[in-house]
Amino acid sequence: MKIMHKGSRFYNNQSEENQKKLEHMYEKQAMNEERLKESIVSHLSALNDGVVAIYITIMVLSIPYPQSRADYSNFIWSIGTFIVSFFIIADFWYENKRTFETVKKASHGFVVMNFIYLASLALIPVTTSWILFERGNTFAEINFCIVYILTLICQNMLRFFAIKHHFKHHYELFIKLIARKALTMLFIAVVLIGLSICFPYWAVTFYILLPIVDFLIPEDGKHRIIKKTMRK
């Protein structure tokens, strides 16, 4: 229950002794809220690790074992699908860990966005299997694109909530950063959907390679590639 603080009608109608008690209770509540914001960061990080581990476990258990030699090709294809999904999930997990390294206190918005991010991440293995087992299916690829972009947006929004406190005195710059990132995500979405419609078979290969390459290349390597591209 929220405690009425100094200046409220309830507070002003109390005796001096009760006002002191209310002030003490409010201070304790504020301290508890601050401690919760600090402790919940590590709890959320551990929860994310557990959820990702569950996702991977479910992905492994969903691989059907071959009941005959004729089914062996499907078994190998299912293993390939698992590997692709694994690296996509691993790439998101790594970026999520980098975000959590910048957080000391978790705001309510950060907590809510983290759960939305986990919900969207759960759909990645499903849509990955869909595009691999129905290669060339434009509808499947568009759905994968939507889920992938949605997860990227949630991941970036999570990062913005994490660094928001750094921009207390530069709010306009913070808004510009959000707008720039949103436009980038929109551009990527349009390109991927266009690729799915025009070149559905090539789109699958691109969808598979993009997150795997992003995961395998170290951060300093990515920065060098960006610098070389900008020089050209």
pLDDT digits (tens, 9 = 90+) for 172-199: 776 777 777 778 777 877 887 787 788 7
What's the number of domains the chain is made of? 1
Range of the domain at 66: 41-221
- What is the distance between the alpha carbons of residues 34 and 44, in angstroms, rounded to a whole number? 16
Task: Tell me, yes or no, whether 199 lies in a domain.
Answer: yes
Determine the Cα–Cα distance for residues 185 and 146; give it in Å rounded to an integer.
11
pTM score, two decimals?
0.70
Q: Confirm whether 3 is domain-assigned.
A: no
Tokens of 14: 């109390």
Query: Which 8-state DSSP code applies to residue 70?
Result: G
Q: State the residue for tokens 């009760």.
A: 18
Whether residue 189 is contained in a domain is answered as yes
Q: What is the pLDDT of residues 79-125, one digit of tens each?
A: 887 888 888 888 889 888 888 888 888 888 888 999 999 999 999 88
Query: Rg (Cα) of the chain, in Å, rounded?
Result: 24
Residue 70 one-letter amino acid: A
